[in-house]
Amino acid sequence: MKDDSGPCKAITKAANSWAVQPNLLDYGKTCDQFSWATARRELDGLPENKGLNIAHEAVDRHANGPRGDRLAIRWLGKDGGVRDFSYSDLKRQSNRFANVLRELDIGRGERVFTLAGRVPELYFSAFGTWKNGSVFCPLFSAFGSEPIYQRLSKGDAKVLVTTERLYKQKVAALRERLPQLKHILLIDAAQDIGEGLWSLPRRMEEAADAFIIPPTDPEDMAIVHFTSGTTGMPKGAVHVHNAVLTHYLTGKYVLDFHPGDVFWCTADPGWVTGTSYGIIAPLVHGVTNIIDEAEFDAKRWYQLLEEQQVNIWYTAPTAIRRLMRLAIDPTKQYDLSHLRCIHSVGEPLNPEAVSWGQQSLGLPIHDNWWQTETGGIMIANYPAVDIRPGSMGLPLPGIEAAIVRRGTGERAEAVTEPGTQGELALRPGWPSMFRAYLHEEQRYRKCFVGDWYITGDLAYRDADGYFWFVGRADDIIKTSGHMVGPFEVESALLEHPAVTEAGVIGKPEALIGELVKAFVTLKPGTEPSEELRLELIGFARKKLGSAVAPKEIEFRDNLPKTRSGKIMRRLLKARELGLAEGDTSTLEVDE
Ligand code: AMP
């Protein structure tokens, strides 16, 4: 059995010492009394019992009531501009966007993609899409054209909202391969261009202000988020409008929203955190959501926390580790006295980072765990509950999490012995659980074994119920908090005329968690050289974008393969890291 205490001392939360009393005070009691049906009563629902729609819960219900003039979104441009939107403004803008879609004859269930930085139009598009009953599919703007193509194609994109620059650089050349992509709404085009290229400002200007959200079944598809797999191309995880209940509940119990709060989530909506918590959860709670267009910059970030008087901050381990490295004493140099809670997600948060928060920011950092498929936070450290640094925390009330061992056939048994390592699993049925992988029924079904959804992570639970992350059960790479599927990277490298084979692994790196490393073999007659290595890195960057492309490439004469010809990434990794090679009985070709 493992030691439960973790490498750093537990951080105890003294009762009655709160500046603002947390929403969840008694974890055990809340879990015992919890029911999703009761939680659902805290949401509004569409007027006249017409269902449940994310945009109504996040925007219209506030806009229609006393919170209409409250600041919903404060957008901070990378060049210093500031744009404020009240809940009423957001209602108007999203109504207009919904009318733009209607004018283009885009209806229920049809997919509206965005490929843009964090600009206000992206947020109007999200809410307008949900109002229209269409499906919001955000893409990360740093993707290269190949990942973009894969996602637009698999997602049956009908509409894409983007900028002129991104369109020209990354999408124009794909149009012939995407016959179903009918309309491109250009955020910064002054005039319609033709061939399905529309000026979004123009369309918005001409659109009506009023829009009545049609009846929405809580099970209607609302969002598709693409996530990487180890085999095959990215999977489109489907989420429904009912997910808003998880967003609401986690906003209440984990992030701990209170009226009047200012919240900042640093994630980009191209990743699930940036949608569930960078768009939906704060607005469902009627608080102010800060959106920063710029990328990471320590001074800018501290300044933002000070000037915007942020109360609740949701960020990621890579960013925290970057801040930790700098010779900045945050609480001495900046006024961070408004901060009440700091949360982190995406990859393991080192115990040292939790303690650094306590010492340098005056607050511990609360780690939480979830994934694209779960749609919302599932395991968390809560403001009023003691933290065990290094642990992901305790399951959300309403969520049953377990460590399971697979039996023979379709069976998986929960392990009750504390400290036993196994697969992290969740009991299906929570509102934001993914409902499908788009067009991949088999792949979806494989995620469920017996009574459990198998997350793909390895973990253990200690005697007090805290969960501890151990690693991934597959080859997926986590780099700067982003999932990268090795297959996607290998496929791109294979398109280079000099490459015969490629095997891609995640190599541990202190700052970004793992870096993408590729091993390649070359066509006969091609000699390895530094020039070719750089060319391959550039080639992959162009195709995949900097977030996905390998940072290191190594030439090999052969790659280790199984008898069926599959490259053994596990072995490449073990050899790279000098670890035990494990079972090599299926190895056929060796290096
Ligand atoms: P994604 O679907 O891209 O959000 O990635 C989800 C995966 O990120 C999880 O399955 C974990 O492998 C990892 N992850 C997310 N949060 C944490 C955490 N708090 N600690 C450790 N790993 C995490």
Query: pLDDT tens digit string along 229-246?
Result: 767 788 999 999 999 999
Looking at the structure, tell me whether residues 523 and 569 fall in a common domain.
yes
Give the residue with greater pLDDT, 350 vs 556.
556
Q: What percent of the chain has pLDDT over 70?
A: 96
Looking at the structure, tell me whether residues 534 and 451 fall in a common domain.
no
Instruction: Establish whether residue 350 lines the binding site of ligand 1, counting it when its CB lies within 6 angstroms of any ligand atom.
Output: no
Tell me how far apart the alpha carbons of residues 367 and 314 are, in angstroms, rounded to a whole number: 10
CA-CA distances (angstroms) from residue 166 to 171, 213, 219, 263, 546? 7, 31, 33, 29, 15
Q: Which residue has the least CA distance to atom 17 on ligand 1?
A: 347
Asked, for residue 488, whether it belongs to a domain, the answer is yes
Contacts of 370 (CB under 8 A, 6+ apart): 345, 376, 377, 378, 379
Asked, for residue 363, whether it belongs to a domain, the answer is yes
Task: Among 399, 427, 461, identify where a domain stops.
Answer: 461
Per-residue 3-state assignment (H helix, E strand, C coil) for 252-291: HHCCCCCCCCEEEECCCCCCHHHHHHHHHHHHHCCCEEEE
Asked, for residue 315, whether it belongs to a domain, the answer is yes
Q: What percent of the chain has pLDDT over 90?
A: 83
Asked, for residue 216, whether it belongs to a domain, the answer is yes
Looking at the structure, tell me whether residues 271 and 242 fall in a common domain.
yes
With beta carbons less than 8 A apart as the criterion, state whether 523 and 555 touch: no
Q: Which class for 342: exposed (0-12), middle (13-18), buried (19 or more C-beta within 10 A)?
A: buried
Asked, for residue 466, whether it belongs to a domain, the answer is no
pLDDT higher than threshold 50 for residue 1? no
Helices (H) and strands (E) in the chain, counts: 20, 28
Q: How far is CA 547 from the centre of its chain?
A: 14
With the most atoms of ligand 1 within 8 angstroms of its CB, the residue from 453, 457, 460, 467 to mutate is 457
Lowest-pLDDT range of 116-130, 208-222, 228-242, 534-548? 228-242
Instruction: Establish whether residue 202 lines the binding site of ligand 1, counting it when its CB lies within 6 angstroms of any ligand atom.
Output: no
Looking at the structure, tell me whether residues 314 and 347 fall in a common domain.
yes
Residue span of the structural domain in which 414 resides: 47-461
Looking at the structure, tell me whether residues 423 and 564 fall in a common domain.
no
Instruction: Establish whether residue 345 lines the binding site of ligand 1, counting it when its CB lies within 6 angstroms of any ligand atom.
Output: yes
pTM: 0.91
Q: Which pLDDT does position 583 carry in this prediction?
A: 64
Asked, for residue 246, whether it belongs to a domain, the answer is yes
Q: What's the DSSP call for residue 198?
A: E
Looking at the structure, tell me whether residues 434 and 541 fall in a common domain.
no
Mark 477-497 as b/e (b = at least 16 C-beta within 10 Å): bbbbbbbbbbbbbbbbbeebe
Instruction: Establish whether residue 90 lines the binding site of ligand 1, counting it when its CB lies within 6 angstroms of any ligand atom.
Output: no
CATH code of the domain containing 508: 3.30.300.30
Looking at the structure, tell me whether residues 328 and 361 fall in a common domain.
yes
417-451, pLDDT tens digit by residue?
Answer: 999 999 999 999 999 999 999 999 999 999 999 99
Looking at the structure, tell me whether residues 559 and 454 fall in a common domain.
no
Asked, for residue 550, whether it belongs to a domain, the answer is yes
Strands, E assignment, 304-451: 312-315, 341-344, 365-369, 379-380, 394-395, 401-406, 412-414, 422-426, 436-437, 448-449
Q: What's the DSSP call for residue 170?
A: I
Task: Among 403, 427, 461, identify where a domain stops.
Answer: 461
Tell me how far apart the alpha carbons of residues 233 and 235 are, in angstroms, rounded to a whole number: 7
Q: Which pLDDT does position 585 carry in this prediction?
A: 60
Looking at the structure, tell me whether residues 513 and 395 fall in a common domain.
no
Instruction: Establish whether residue 348 lines the binding site of ligand 1, counting it when its CB lies within 6 angstroms of any ligand atom.
Output: yes
Paired tokens of 226: 């693409």
Looking at the structure, tell me whether residues 261 and 385 fall in a common domain.
yes
Task: Among 394, 427, 461, identify where a domain stops.
Answer: 461
Looking at the structure, tell me whether residues 432 and 511 fall in a common domain.
no
73-122, pLDDT tens digit by residue?
Answer: 999 999 999 999 999 999 999 999 999 999 999 999 999 999 999 999 99
Paired tokens of 193: 């261009």
Helices 530-544 and 145-154 cross at an angle (nearest 10°) of 30
CATH code of the domain containing 75: 3.40.50.12780
* Mean pLDDT over each residue of the chain, to the nearest integer: 93
Q: Which pLDDT does position 8 carry in this prediction?
A: 63
Looking at the 3D structure of the chain, how many domains does it have? 2
381-413, pLDDT tens digit by residue?
Answer: 999 999 999 999 999 999 999 999 987 778 899
Nearest ligand 1 atom to alpha carbon 273: 4
Tell me how far the alpha carbon of residue 371 lies from the centroid of ligand 1, in angstroms: 5
Looking at the structure, tell me whether residues 139 and 225 fall in a common domain.
yes
Asked, for residue 4, whether it belongs to a domain, the answer is no
Instruction: Determine phi and psi for 52, rounding to 5 degrees.
Output: -135, 125
Q: Which pLDDT does position 4 carry in this prediction?
A: 46
